[in-house]
Every structure is written in structure tokens, then in C-alpha cells.
Amino acid sequence: MATGPVREQLETEDVLVYPTGFKRGLVLFSILLCVVFVGLDMTIVAVAVPSLSNQFKQLNDIGWYSASYQLIASSFIFFFARLYTVFPMKSIFLVSIFLFELGSLLCTVAPTSATFILGRAIAGLGSSGVQTGSIVLLTSQLPVHKRPFWTGIVGAGSNIAMVIAPLIGGVLIDAFSWRACFGINLPIGAIASGFIAYGFQMPANPPHEAGLPVVEMCQRLDIAGTLVFVPAIVCLLIGLQWGGLKYGWTDARIIVLLVVFPVFIGVFAVMQCRKKEDATLPPRIMTQRSVLAGAWFNACSNGILAVTEYYMSIYFQGVRGFSATKSGAMGLPLFAGMAVTVLTAGVGTTWMGYYYPFMLISSVLMPIASGLLITIEYNDALVKIILLLTFLGAGVGLGLQAPVFAVQTVLPDKDIATGVAITGFTGLLASALFVSVSAVLFQSRLAIEVERHSPGTDRNIFDHGGLVDVREQIGSARLGAVLSGYDEAVIQTLYIPVALASLSILASVAMERRSVKTTQ
């Protein structure tokens, strides 16, 4: 007999009447569009990084082109989860799309690196609401037994977008400029907004917090908790981004930032324990075993993808000298392998009822694949690199949707927004964290390895020429040696995914052995 959250879920299913017909189909299509443009934006920036470094001549900013997006998205994901719990989800979702579009517009017209980073931050704020809201809106439109299939479709759509983003980005850069990579979001977002505004219908039964006075709704947002949580995450990421580059690790500013982070997180934890059910993160959800395991696995898998995709793009354009289009095409195997195995795992989970076996297989394959990837050399055959990227993507994809299935299985509907936010937050934070850490590692190793392979070469040459145009400033006599050092710096940065892949096994072992068929 079902008990606890599962029993509550079954009882709720008996009284809810879900939308049907053309309008529901329009909403489901719009949700798919939204995850597509967020997926595009998450990976298209990497192929644009070399062009951005050439445009703005700010090598120290390259980590922030992705990290600013992930930083803000990570910081506000819990706040958006609370908004979806308290306020009408349709309104919150439309506001989220608007913020994402505003950030994309700012990136498109950015005259400076700082303006571009600001645009990425605003887009990240919007994406935080879109990613959480996609699952929340999906849940509101479908009964439990239909959610795994559509969750798989949405997940596949996001992954396909990430697959084609580098290629689309390369084509847009070669045909127009890097600005088109972000302008492409504008028409997609406008279409999705129109469809949601027209077609979205709530189930006959109102959501958990419906009918409350506006004043009480605002009181339940836990704004005080957000005001403590956001600065904590900002201090952490800024400290990691500046440490060892702009300032030494023993600099007072870096020490203060890294000390403030745990202090603020401690205060936030105490606030959450005291507020209980009115907290941004109710302790009963935060400490749920499957939620914690899913969050850990998401952190590892997203960190692997972010760092690998970022620095393989630099490898192809900087070390191998490929055009942006060809570099984008070379990145396709990573996400193509992932897209195939995401669908495979979805079908397998539907048939078996269990998602944790796919996590276990993923945790075995990822360390092997990422370990093999660090064996590539400056003049290796492209076939070898393509096969290794495909292998890594396939390994990651097998377990990528498991945390979402776990949240939908072990939590009642009213808690799904928070559960999705917890697992999504760790993925976003890991992407921001490890892109920042990898940028520190890469930039420090780049200077050292270039000097080691080509003594006497100006260490600031990459600041002056960017990561791609530097070839034009190096004489033919030094080019091979400099590129060997460049290659070695990239490879040493890719040790980070190896470590993350190895740590993912902890999550796979900890995940509860629950079946999605239990809630049908």
C-alpha cells in the first residue's frame, strides 16, 4: 500500500481534473520551445567565447561570460520555486520569459564586455524561472502516469538544443557575427509567450497556495532568506573567479569573500529551520534522500558538461585553428551521444519502472570516458576525439534525467517545484563554480605551459591577440611550440571533469530504489 507522499499524490490524482484538447497541446509545445531556447543559450556561448575575446580583448572576463549567467540562475532558483508555490504560475512563467528575452537583447547589442556580462546575468535570472517553471507547468497539465513520457520529451528537446547550439552558433558567427547567437532567442521567446498567454489553463482544483490575500502571499516568499542566500552565492563565485588571477589567494578581499560565504549559508540554514513549512527550503524536502542524491548527481554531470564543452571549443578554435562553424560541428558528438542515451534511459525507465540502474551505469562510464579524453594531443586524429566526445556524452546522458524522475516519484505535486529547484540549483551552481575554477586553472596553466614549451614568448600575447587571433601574432618558428603549450593547458583543465565523474558514484549508490510505476 502506498504511504506518505505517494499516498497523498494518489489521493490528489483522484480529485484533480486536468486540462485537455488543443490548448493543452499548445501549452506543451510552448514548454518545449522554452526549454529549447534555454538549452541553446546554455551552450551557444562557449562557441562564441573566442569571438568575444577577439571583440572585447578581455581574456580575464571569459569565465564570466558563462559564470554570470549560471551564478544568477543558481542564486534565484529557490526564490522562483517559492514564487511558483505562492503566486499564479502562468504569470510567473511569462515574467521569467520576459527577463530572459531582455537579457538576450542586451547581449545582442552589447558594446562592451561588461554590458555583455550584465545581459548574461539578466538572461540567467529569467532562465532560473523558465527551467523550474517548465516542470511545474508540465505537472499542472498532466496526470502522474503521463508525466514521465512528457518529461522525457522536454529533456530530449533541451538536449537536442544543446546538441545543435554549437553548430548553429558557428554558422551564425561565420554568416553574421557572435551577436546573432543571442538575438536568435528573441523570436522563439515571443512565440512561446504568446502561446502560453493564450492556451494555459489551470486544473479544476486550485494550486496549494491559491486564494490567499496578496499581503500574505508576499509574506510567504521568505524574502529575508533570499536576501541572505543570494549574497552568499555571489561571494563564493566572485572569490573563486578573482582568486589567483586578479588578486592572490592570500589577499584580504579574497579571504573575506570566502569567509562570508559559509557564514551567510549558516545563517540561511538557521532561518530555514525556524520557518519550517514557510521556508524557501522546507527541511523535510531538503533532507529527503532521493532529492539529495539527485542534487549531487546533477552537480557532477552538469559540471562535467560545462567544463568539457567550454574548453573543447577553445581547443578546436585555438589549438587546432578551426573556424567557429567547424568548431561547433566538432562539439556535436558530445551532445548527440547524450541526446540518444537520454531518450534510451527514458524509454528504459518507462519499461522497467526504475531509474537508478541508469545512474549506476552512467557513474561507471563517465570516469572512463573523461579519463580517455585527457589523452588527446595537439595533432591527434579527429576521429579519435569525436568518438571520445560521443562516449562521454552517452555516459552522462544515461543518468541525466534520473534526478527529475526521482523528484516526480517521491514528492507530492505541491513540493515538486521545490524539489526540481534543489536538483536544478546544484547543477547550475556546479556549472558556474567549475567554469570559474577551470578558468582560473586554465589561465594560470596557459602562461606556464607556453613559457615551458616556448621560452621567451610574451606571456601576455593571449591578452593582446585573443584566444584565436593569437596565431597571427606568433611567428612560424614559434607557432608549433606555443600551440603545444596551449594544448597542454587545455588538457590539464580537463582533469576537473575526471574528478567530478568519479564522485558521481556516491549519488548513484545513495539513490532510493523506487519505481515510477508505484504512483500510477
- pTM to 2 decimal places: 0.76
Summarised one tens digit per residue, pLDDT across range 163-175 is 677 778 888 887 8
pLDDT of residue 394: 93
pLDDT of 84 strictly over 80: yes
State the amino acid at position 410 in one-letter form.
V
pLDDT tens, position by position, 418-475: 888 888 888 877 887 788 788 878 877 777 777 776 666 666 666 555 555 566 666 5
Confidence of residue 393 (pLDDT cuts 50, 70, 90): very high
The whole-number pLDDT of residue 2 equals 44
d(CA 37, CA 33): 6
Instruction: Give the burial string for 320-339 (b: 16+ CB within 10 Å, else e).
Output: bebebbbbbbbbbbbbbbbb
- Which pLDDT score, from 0 to 100, does residue 479 have? 63
Q: Give the pLDDT score at 212.
A: 64
pLDDT of residue 467: 55
Grid look-up 529551520 returns 273
Q: What phi and psi, each to the nearest 5 degrees, are found at residue 361?
A: -60, -40
Query: What pLDDT shows up at residue 11?
Result: 46
CB-CB contact of 169 with 181 (8 Å): yes
Mean pLDDT for the stretch of residues 178-191? 87
**Taking all residues of the chain, what is their mean pLDDT, rounded to a whole number?**
80
Q: Is 498 helix (H, G, I), strand (E, B) or coil?
A: helix
Could you tell me the domains of the chain?
Answer: 19-217 (1.20.1250.20), 223-279 (no CATH), 287-519 (1.20.1250.20)
Grid cell for residue 489:
593547458
- For residues 96-123, average pLDDT: 90
What confidence tens digit (pLDDT) does each residue in 14-43 have?
A: 455 666 678 888 888 888 888 888 888 877
Instruction: Flag the least confident range among 156-160, 200-204, 212-216.
Output: 212-216
pLDDT value at residue 3: 46
pLDDT greater than 70 at residue 1: no
Per-residue pLDDT band for 216 (boundaries 50, 70, 90) equals low
Q: Is the pLDDT of residue 295 over 80?
A: yes
Give yes or no for residue 244 having a pLDDT over 70.
no
Give the pLDDT confidence score for residue 14 in this predicted structure.
Answer: 46
Task: Choose among 182, 173, 188: nearest CA to 107.
Answer: 182
Q: Which three cell numbers stand for residue 286?
A: 531538503
Average pLDDT of the segment spanning 216-235: 80
Collect all residues with Cβ–Cβ distance below 8 Å to 21 and sequence separation of at least 6.
none
pLDDT value of residue 97: 92
> 331 with 436: CB under 8 angstroms?
no
pLDDT-derived band at 53, boundaries 50, 70, 90? confident
